Amino acid sequence: MKISEILNIIKEKRRKHFEYGKVQSYEHDYWVDIIIDGGFFGKINSLLDDLTGELSIDKNELMIWTSEELKESIGIGFFLPYLRRLCEDEVRAKYVYVESDFKEYVPPIRENLYIISEGKRYDTYLDENSRLFLTRWFNDNPAKPGDIVSLWCIEWMGKYRLYLKRQSTQG
């Protein structure tokens, strides 16, 4: 999915739970902030459950803060996940294609990257055709065309480590 599509999901979830508030994105750094009136603190948990479920990210890794600058508001911040609906070719050849919006999210071509999924580490790299080959991951996590994968960075530009989750779209 494109960054704009993921931001639209976030904005829709915010609107569903709160009439007021704003979503600010810093797309160059793949960071997003959601600012909510502090009077709604009790309802934030349901927003976070809904949002993290839809985006397949870990609720415990979100940054939640208040500050004098925010006055009586609460901020929620996190790196955007890269969401990708797997096509037949990706499942067959056991790779995840990285769209141009997210090229800076992964290391340069042929540079090492590791992915964590359900506590296991999978080594990979981005090839010249924007593919992350994950044969071992696909063997451990049988996916089908249409399933959605979420690649998510917790520490920006740290050790080139991403977290991977899969949502099955099969009934």
Over residues 100-133, the pLDDT tens digits come to 888 887 888 888 888 999 999 999 999 999 999 9
Q: What is the pLDDT of residue 60?
A: 84
Contact 91, 138 (CB under 8 A): yes
Q: Note whether 147 and 110 are same-domain residues.
A: yes
Q: What is the pLDDT of residue 156?
A: 56
Q: Note whether 55 and 130 are same-domain residues.
A: no
Q: Note whether 9 and 74 are same-domain residues.
A: yes
Residues in Cβ contact with 8 at an 8 Å cutoff, skipping those fewer than 6 apart: none
Q: Note whether 13 and 59 are same-domain residues.
A: yes
- Residues 100 and 45: their CA atoms lie apart, in Å, by 33
Query: Residue 40: is its pLDDT beyond 90?
Result: no
Above pLDDT 70, what percent of the chain? 89
Host domain of residue 46: 3-79
Residue 109's CATH number: 2.40.330.10
DSSP 118: T
Q: What is the pLDDT of residue 112?
A: 86
Q: Note whether 52 and 118 are same-domain residues.
A: no
DSSP 107: P
Strand-pairing partners, residue 75, are 35, 65
- Among 58, 79, 100, the domain boundary falls at 79
| Residue 12 burial (C-beta neighbours within 10 Å; 0-12, 13-18, 19+) | middle
Q: What is the pLDDT of residue 53?
A: 92
Q: What is the pLDDT of residue 157?
A: 55
Query: Residue 171: is its pLDDT beyond 70?
Result: no
Amino acid letter for position 113: L
- Among 79, 96, 130, the domain boundary falls at 79
- Among 31, 53, 79, the domain boundary falls at 79
36 vs 154, more confident: 36
Q: Note whether 48 and 59 are same-domain residues.
A: yes
Q: Note whether 72 and 90 are same-domain residues.
A: no
Q: In the predicted model, what is the mean pLDDT of residues 160-165?
A: 81
Q: Note whether 130 and 163 are same-domain residues.
A: yes
Residues in Cβ contact with 59 at an 8 Å cutoff, skipping those fewer than 6 apart: 48, 49, 52
In order of 17, 50, 89, 98, the CA distances from 108 in angstroms are: 38, 33, 23, 12
Q: Note whether 152 and 94 are same-domain residues.
A: yes
Q: In the predicted model, what is the mean pLDDT of residues 34-42?
A: 75
Using 50, 70 and 90 to split pLDDT, how confident is the model at 160?
A: low
Number of domains in the chain: 2
pTM: 0.82
Amino acid letter for position 99: E
Residue 16's CATH number: 3.30.70
